[in-house]
């Protein structure tokens, strides 16, 4: 303790001066220690008061707390005798430039996600980032984002993020860590870093790469390993097979007329998916008459959103997809081999597909999924070459990764080194390998052999637990960095807020490694780009500052996208041999209730590899297709469930190579038979209050030699049940015309077919006079042809409108609070149904059934046709919800909003009320956004322009499926869409006259395959 105090006394004055010089604006400080920064000061505080009332945070010892309270109450009078020191408060007279209280500012930055970036604009209220929007200038965003970017702002404020440097589990300081690191490096300097290892996730950040290279220069024998559980090894290996080098494959879906996806979920799962979804749906939207609609063929092993958009879908086991690729290649004349036996029933399908591809040379596209083996990727490259698609729909560039290694190999090498005792110091920069490493590598056991283990991470997770040191990492909204998008475009990540929990960035850590502790991330990133600038790449900017300002302002650095690269295909005669013949989970091996099956490992649709496990928004977001929340499940086909006698929620034992998990079953229509799909990311032990201990850990089964699918899994019933919670229990439309679907052909023959499906009473068929809308009349159109069901709207709405998370139990009884939901319906057989998505916000009916039944007038019609909810007036009879045929109203059955957690308070949108218990709520068409724009327009004395108001769901939508505007203006986009023949409202026969309408979905099937 005394040592610490000594440390505290010996303040480094030089560092202080530097800090003061760097600080912008006046900085107030009370003592040198405090100024010298919290580190020592904190250490001093901790030394003086070793346990700063830890009981207060511990629910168990409330008694103790009460005792303390009693004592303080008794002594309260005593303090009156002492005069409190004067502390002058400072008025906000010299406000910082640009900040106007009540007006949000938007800053461009980028969110790194598994290596690739999505450019975003972050809304900041008085210095608090509250909402993430897409950056229209960024190629991976085009103004939209995915669910992860939307939810990332919640992770920033997560109170469970690690908040302090720990050493062997007890509180320590950054300086103590630096000392320990210095000691560890001392030994390494001698051996040129032979025992030093860095383990990172995918690195595309030029700055981070530069720093790591510098470290490797300093320690030439040190090694840098990369491991990302959702890695892209197969894509890299496939490119190496096909071209002899690793290249990045980029697609131009907007140029493709015919697309074949070989297990590639390009609409949600690829780097750049948001942009791809935009490109893809730009060719799905139809004018009248419909022209140029693309056609999508999907062969997939797990039902995905991409599969749900397919005109023709073939569900096969993952191991069988290679045979499809070979069969198609054969039809295209690339291979000369027999079609696999099991594909004979699909022969006509494949032939028709091949003919379709051949008809569209140069305008077709074949995409392979990251889960498919390298051979499939190579075949896809070869077929794209053969069809003349290269340079048109497929573009090859340099890899965006700083060092494109195969992650599994890299990790294996590290494990081998650790096992052999060659690793003395391991720095894990991000990631959670103890949890995510393939089970057979036994990473945790080998890790224990390393003498100095340090982990930098957002959470004190499973890996932090096994490391000597854990350093809290800064969130991307808290620190400077840079990152590349899927096309190579670099962005500067600029912080929106000072680190909430005193985190450090990887840049700062590496800087310490390089012997420059205390260098700020800001300086490090600027250094990188100054060097780049000085190479003269941007002569249009007069100096570096100018360039820097523009780079920050735009959010994407001009001219950093990689140029297309020409590659030469090296295909051996007869194609590439497949290393493993398609697995045969055969019926013959059936023994009792056990059968060997194929297993698919997939990242979870909402919590990804587990990194978002403690994010309530993502946990509660219904997973596409299954609509499950708060859990993962073993997905099986209805036929398999029938054979095994399984129902949803039955616990089964999944066994693979002597490793076993117990998983609940979820029967998923359209899942290929004889296989089971598990999602990674659940079963966390140390994720935080929300994420710990929910679901099952599928990593336990995941082997290093078959990361994505494996044959030979046995499934057996345990007889136990587990409660899975889904937000949609009924999957058929019951013959009601809710999602209206036709084919392009039908539409051409009879453009009015959509309207004929339902009844829409004329507005004058009533005795009562209608409302007159003289000014604006707000309305919305949702294009079902463009909606891919990605859920981004749901989570954007949640972020914008302060929608609370209710937890698994409440979702289980049907009380989720989402104001917009994506309904999913099936049509056709259980084994291969067509899947439709329908986002449902409030319909803002002109004859709203909810309004007449409210006894207190808490839901009323406004003069612009909005059906508005007056929270203050609501007494909570719930009659409005009962009478709402669309069931879009949500009720606070309990106090769902978190009114106590400090950090979440900062996340909330100050323009939207945080609702209390007992109050009904629902979609408002983002009234706060309408009013912001209205005020601006009124100030300028002009009407609101079309497209000026973007609702949160509309703004985030990757495919621009949601259009909002003034239907009184016949030239507005929304009015024009409402005039389309495909436009229809749901349940119009009730004479509700919904303001939200839909454009019917059109399919474009190949007439050779589908005869209707």
Partner 1 sequence: MSSVTPDAVNKSKALEPVGPLIGPGHTFGSVTDKISGAVLTRRTPLGWFVVFGVAFTLVMILMLAVAYLFSIGVGIWGINIPVGWGFAIINFVWWIGIGHAGTLISAILLLLRQEWRTSISRFAEAMTLFAVACAGLFPLLHMGRPWLFYWLLPYPSTMGVWPQFRSPLVWDVFAISTYGTVSLLFWYVGLIPDLATMRDRAKARLAQIIYGVLAMGWRGSAVHWHRYETASLLLAGLATPLVVSVHSIVSFDFAVSIVPGWHTTIFPPYFVAGAIYSGFAMVLTLAIPIRKMYKMEDLITLRHLDTMAKVMLATGLIVAYGYMMEAFMAWYSGDPYEQYMTWNRMTGPYAPTYWALILCNVLIPQLLWSRRVRTHVPLLFVIALIVNVGMWLERFVIVITSLHRDFLPSSWGMYYPTIWDWATYFGTIGLFLALMFLFIRVLPMISIFETRHTLAREKERAALRGALPSAVPGD
What distances in angstroms separate CA 133 from CA 110, 483, 952, one per listed residue? 10, 18, 9
Q: Which helix (H) or strand (E) holds 187?
A: helix 174-190
**Closer residue to partner 1 in complex, CB, 630/886:** 886
Task: Figure out which of the listed residues 875, 901, 931, 936 binds partner 1, where binding follows CB under 8 A.
Answer: 875
Q: Where are the alpha helices (DSSP H) in 494-622?
A: 506-513, 521-534, 544-554, 616-620
What distances in angstroms separate CA 159 from CA 43, 238, 974, one per listed residue? 22, 42, 41
Minimum CB distance to partner 1, residue 794 (Å): 13
Q: Which helix (H) or strand (E) holds 383?
A: helix 374-386
Q: Nearest-5° angle of CA 959, CA 962, CA 963?
A: 120
Q: Which helix (H) or strand (E) holds 325?
A: helix 321-331
Q: Where are the alpha helices (DSSP H) in 387-424?
A: 407-419
- Return the number of other C-beta atoms located less than 10 Å from residue 714's C-beta: 19
Per-residue interface string for the shown chain with partner 1, residues 911-950, x marking contact by CB under 8 A: ------xxxx------------------------------
Q: What is the dihedral of CA 642, 643, 649, 655, to 10 degrees?
A: -160
583 bridge partner residues: none
Interaction between residue 71 and partner 1 (CB under 8 A): no
Residue 59 has what DSSP assignment?
A: G
Those residues with Cβ within 8 angstroms of residue 917's Cβ, 6 or more apart along the chain or in another chain: 892, 893, 894, 895, 896
Alpha carbons 940 and 936: distance in angstroms, whole number: 6
**Closer residue to partner 1 in complex, CB, 2/872:** 872
**Closer residue to partner 1 in complex, CB, 462/810:** 810
**Residue 658: is it exposed, middle or buried by C-beta count within 10 angstroms (0-12/13-18/19+)?**
exposed
Per-residue interface string for the shown chain with partner 1, residues 548-567, x marking contact by CB under 8 A: --------------------
Interaction between residue 819 and partner 1 (CB under 8 A): no
Task: Figure out which of the listed residues 763, 814, 829, 1007 binds partner 1, where binding follows CB under 8 A.
Answer: 814
Interaction between residue 499 and partner 1 (CB under 8 A): no
**Closer residue to partner 1 in complex, CB, 403/731:** 731
Minimum CB distance to partner 1, residue 729 (Å): 6
Rg over CA atoms, the chain: 29
Minimum CB distance to partner 1, residue 835 (Å): 13
Four-residue CA torsion sign, 436, 441, 442, 443 = negative
Minimum CB distance to partner 1, residue 861 (Å): 12
Interaction between residue 761 and partner 1 (CB under 8 A): no
| Tokens 């693979």 sit on residue | 656
Stretch that binds partner 1, among 85-93, 154-162, 479-487, 820-828 (CB under 8 A): 820-828
Interaction between residue 824 and partner 1 (CB under 8 A): yes
Interaction between residue 856 and partner 1 (CB under 8 A): yes
Residue 623 has what DSSP assignment?
A: P
Site for partner 1 (CB under 8 A): how many residues? 54
Interaction between residue 469 and partner 1 (CB under 8 A): no
Minimum CB distance to partner 1, residue 159 (Å): 23
Instruction: At 114, list the tokens.
Output: 């598994």
Minimum CB distance to partner 1, residue 948 (Å): 32
Alpha carbons 210 and 927: distance in angstroms, whole number: 47
Minimum CB distance to partner 1, residue 623 (Å): 15
Minimum CB distance to partner 1, residue 896 (Å): 8
Alpha carbons 194 and 455: distance in angstroms, whole number: 19
Interaction between residue 694 and partner 1 (CB under 8 A): no
Stretch that binds partner 1, among 247-255, 335-343, 441-449, 985-993 (CB under 8 A): 985-993
Task: Figure out which of the listed residues 882, 901, 947, 970 binds partner 1, where binding follows CB under 8 A.
Answer: 882
Per-residue interface string for the shown chain with partner 1, residues 154-193, x marking contact by CB under 8 A: ----------------------------------------
178 bridge partner residues: none
Task: Figure out which of the listed residues 886, 925, 964, 998 binds partner 1, where binding follows CB under 8 A.
Answer: 886
Task: Figure out which of the listed residues 17, 347, 657, 873 binds partner 1, where binding follows CB under 8 A.
Answer: 873
Of 719-748, binders to partner 1 (CB under 8 A) are 728-736, 738
Interaction between residue 760 and partner 1 (CB under 8 A): no
Interaction between residue 980 and partner 1 (CB under 8 A): no
Minimum CB distance to partner 1, residue 750 (Å): 23
- Return the number of other C-beta atoms located less than 10 Å from residue 86's C-beta: 5
Minimum CB distance to partner 1, residue 303 (Å): 18
**Closer residue to partner 1 in complex, CB, 498/856:** 856
Task: Figure out which of the listed residues 20, 420, 895, 935 binds partner 1, where binding follows CB under 8 A.
Answer: 895
Which of 779, 785, 737, 735 lies closest to 758 in space, CA to CA? 737
Minimum CB distance to partner 1, residue 311 (Å): 24
Alpha carbons 360 and 828: distance in angstroms, whole number: 30
Interaction between residue 821 and partner 1 (CB under 8 A): yes
Alpha carbons 167 and 455: distance in angstroms, whole number: 10
**Closer residue to partner 1 in complex, CB, 209/625:** 625
Give the CA count within 13 Å in the CB-facing half-sphere of 866.
Answer: 20
Stretch that binds partner 1, among 179-187, 229-237, 418-426, 817-825 (CB under 8 A): 817-825
Q: How far, in whole angstroms, is CA 177 from its chain's centroid?
A: 33
Of 209-248, binders to partner 1 (CB under 8 A) are none
Of 102-161, binders to partner 1 (CB under 8 A) are none
Minimum CB distance to partner 1, residue 54 (Å): 29
Alpha carbons 838 and 845: distance in angstroms, whole number: 18
**Closer residue to partner 1 in complex, CB, 552/757:** 757
Stretch that binds partner 1, among 379-387, 388-396, 455-463, 890-898 (CB under 8 A): 890-898
For 285, list phi and psi in degrees, rounded to 5: -60, 145
- Return the number of other C-beta atoms located less than 10 Å from residue 37's C-beta: 19
**Residue 82: is it exposed, middle or buried by C-beta count within 10 angstroms (0-12/13-18/19+)?**
exposed
Task: Figure out which of the listed residues 130, 600, 838, 972 binds partner 1, where binding follows CB under 8 A.
Answer: 838
Report the relative pairing of strands 196-200 and 425-429 from DSSP bridges.
parallel
Interaction between residue 893 and partner 1 (CB under 8 A): yes
Instruction: At 869, list the tokens.
Output: 């909810």
Interaction between residue 845 and partner 1 (CB under 8 A): no
Alpha carbons 535 and 157: distance in angstroms, whole number: 39
Stretch that binds partner 1, among 391-399, 487-495, 698-706, 882-890 (CB under 8 A): 882-890
**Closer residue to partner 1 in complex, CB, 327/780:** 780
7-15: long-range contacts (C-beta < 8 A, 24 or more apart)? Answer: 7/40, 7/43, 7/44, 7/175, 8/33, 8/40, 8/41, 8/43, 8/44, 8/47, 11/36, 11/40, 12/36, 15/518
What distances in angstroms separate CA 710 from CA 135, 284, 482, 596, 715, one per listed residue? 39, 35, 37, 10, 13
Residue 371 has what DSSP assignment?
A: T
Task: Figure out which of the listed residues 883, 913, 928, 1006 binds partner 1, where binding follows CB under 8 A.
Answer: 883
Interaction between residue 536 and partner 1 (CB under 8 A): no
**Closer residue to partner 1 in complex, CB, 704/881:** 881
Interaction between residue 1001 and partner 1 (CB under 8 A): no
Task: Figure out which of the listed residues 878, 973, 976, 981 binds partner 1, where binding follows CB under 8 A.
Answer: 878
Of 3-42, binders to partner 1 (CB under 8 A) are none
Query: Which of helix, strand or coil describes residue 925?
Result: coil
**Closer residue to partner 1 in complex, CB, 298/738:** 738
Binding site for partner 1 (CB under 8 A): 728-736, 738, 810, 813-815, 821, 823-825, 838, 840, 849, 852-857, 873-879, 881-883, 885-887, 889-895, 917-920, 986-987, 990
């Amino acid at each position: 303790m005394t040592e610490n105090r000594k440390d505290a006394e010996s303040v480094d004055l030089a560092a202080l001066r530097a800090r003061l010089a760097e600080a912008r604006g006046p900085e107030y400080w009370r003592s040198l220690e405090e100024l010298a920064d919290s580190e020592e000061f904190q250490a001093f505080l901790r030394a003086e008061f070793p346990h700063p009332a830890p009981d207060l945070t511990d629910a168990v010892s409330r008694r103790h707390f009460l005792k303390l309270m009693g004592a303080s109450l008794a002594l309260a009078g005593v303090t009156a005798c002492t005069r409190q020191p004067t502390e002058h408060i400072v008025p906000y007279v010299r406000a910082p430039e640009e900040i106007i209280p009540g007006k949000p500012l938007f800053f461009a930055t980028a969110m790194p996600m598994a290596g690739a970036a999505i450019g975003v604009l972050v809304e900041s209220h008085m210095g608090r980032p509250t909402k993430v929007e897409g950056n229209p200038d960024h190629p991976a965003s085009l103004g939209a984002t995915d669910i992860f970017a939307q939810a990332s702002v919640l992770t920033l404020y997560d109170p469970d993020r690690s908040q302090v440097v720990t050493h062997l589990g007890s509180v320590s300081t950054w300086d103590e860590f630096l000392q320990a690191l210095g000691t560890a490096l001392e030994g390494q300097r001698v051996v040129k870093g032979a025992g030093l290892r860095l383990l990172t996730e995918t690195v595309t950040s030029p700055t981070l790469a530069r720093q790591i290279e510098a470290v490797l220069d300093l320690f030439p024998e040190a090694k840098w390993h990369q491991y990302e559980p959702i890695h892209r090894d197969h894509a890299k290996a496939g490119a190496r097979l096909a071209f002899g080098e690793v290249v990045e494959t980029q697609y131009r879906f907007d140029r493709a007329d015919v697309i074949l996806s070989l297990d590639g979920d390009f609409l949600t799962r690829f780097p750049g998916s948001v942009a791809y979804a935009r490109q893809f749906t730009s060719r799905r939207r139809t004018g009248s008459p419909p022209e140029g609609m693309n056609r999508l063929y999907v062969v997939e092993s797990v039902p995905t959103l991409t599969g749900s958009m397919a005109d023709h879908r073939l569900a096969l086991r993952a191991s069988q997809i290679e045979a499809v690729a070979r069969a198609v290649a054969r039809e295209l004349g690339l291979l000369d081999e027999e079609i696999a036996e099991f594909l004979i029933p699909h022969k006509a399908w494949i032939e028709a597909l091949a003919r379709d591809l051949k008809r569209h040379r140069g305008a077709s596209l074949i995409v392979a999924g990251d889960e498919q083996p390298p051979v499939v990727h190579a075949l896809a490259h070869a077929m794209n070459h053969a069809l003349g698609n290269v340079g048109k729909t497929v573009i090859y560039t340099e890899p965006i990764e700083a060092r494109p290694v195969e992650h599994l190999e890299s990790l294996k090498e590290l494990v081998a080194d650790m096992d052999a005792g060659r690793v003395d110091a391991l720095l894990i920069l991000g990631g959670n390998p103890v949890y995510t490493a393939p089970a057979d590598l036994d990473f945790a056991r080998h890790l224990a052999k390393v003498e100095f283990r340090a982990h930098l991470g957002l959470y004190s997770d499973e890996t932090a637990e096994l490391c000597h040191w854990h350093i809290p990492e800064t969130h991307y909204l808290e620190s400077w960095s840079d990152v590349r998008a899927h096309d190579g475009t670099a962005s500067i990540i600029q912080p929106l807020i000072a680190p909430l929990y005193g985190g450090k960035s990887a840049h700062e850590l590496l800087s310490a490694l390089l012997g420059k502790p205390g260098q700020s991330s800001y300086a490090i990133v600027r250094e990188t780009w100054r060097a780049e600038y000085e190479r003269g790449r941007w002569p249009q900017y007069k100096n570096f500052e100018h360039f820097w300002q523009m780079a920050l302002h735009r959010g994407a650095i001009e001219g950093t996208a990689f140029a297309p690269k020409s590659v030469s295909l090296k295909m051996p005669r007869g194609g590439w041999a497949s290393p493993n013949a398609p697995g045969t989970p055969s019926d013959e091996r059936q023994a009792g209730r056990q059968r060997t099956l194929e297993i698919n490992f997939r990242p979870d649709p909402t919590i990804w590899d587990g990194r978002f496990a403690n994010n309530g928004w993502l946990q509660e977001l219904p997973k596409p297709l299954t609509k499950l929340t708060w859990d993962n499940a073993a997905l099986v086909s209805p036929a398999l469930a029938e054979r095994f006698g399984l129902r949803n929620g039955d616990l089964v034992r999944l066994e693979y190579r002597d490793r076993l998990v117990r998983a609940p079953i979820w029967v998923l229509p359209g899942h290929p038979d004889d296989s089971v799909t598990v999602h990674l990311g659940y079963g966390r032990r140390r994720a935080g209050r929300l994420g710990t201990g929910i679901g099952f850990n599928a990593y336990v089964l995941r082997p290093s030699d078959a990361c994505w699918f494996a044959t030979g899994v046995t499934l057996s019933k345990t007889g136990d049940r587990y409660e899975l919670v889904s937000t949609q229990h009924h999957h058929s439309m019951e013959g009601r015309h809710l999602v209206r679907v036709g084919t392009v052909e039908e539409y051409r023959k009879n453009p009015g077919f959509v309207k004929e499906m339902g009844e829409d009473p004329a507005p004058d068929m009533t005795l009562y006079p209608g409302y007159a809308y003289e000014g604006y009349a707000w309305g919305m159109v949702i294009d079902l042809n463009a909606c891919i069901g990605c859920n981004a709207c749901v989570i954007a709405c949640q972020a914008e409108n302060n929608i609370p998370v209710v937890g698994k139990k409440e979702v289980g009884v049907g009380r989720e609070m989402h104001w917009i939901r994506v309904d999913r319906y099936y049509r056709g057989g259980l084994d291969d149904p067509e899947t439709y998505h329908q986002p449902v916000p409030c319909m803002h009916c002109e004859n709203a059934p909810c309004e007449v039944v409210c006894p207190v007038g808490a839901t009323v019609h406004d003069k612009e046709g909005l059906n508005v909810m007056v929270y203050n007036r609501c007494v909570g009879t719930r009659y409005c919800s009962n009478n709402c045929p669309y069931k879009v109203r949500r009720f606070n059955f309990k106090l769902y909003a978190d009114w106590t957690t400090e950090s979440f308070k900062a996340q909330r949108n100050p323009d939207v009320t945080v609702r209390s218990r007992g109050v009904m709520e629902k979609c408002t068409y983002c009234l706060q956004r309408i009013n912001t724009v209205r005020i601006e327009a009124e100030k300028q004395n002009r009407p609101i322009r079309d497209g000026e108001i973007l609702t949160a769901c509309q703004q985030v939508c990757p495919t621009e499926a949601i259009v909002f505007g003034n239907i009184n203006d016949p030239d507005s986009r929304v009015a024009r869409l409402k005039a389309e023949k495909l436009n229809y409202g749901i349940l119009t026969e009730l004479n509700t006259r919904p303001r939200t309408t839909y454009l019917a979905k059109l399919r474009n099937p190949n007439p050779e395959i589908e005869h209707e």
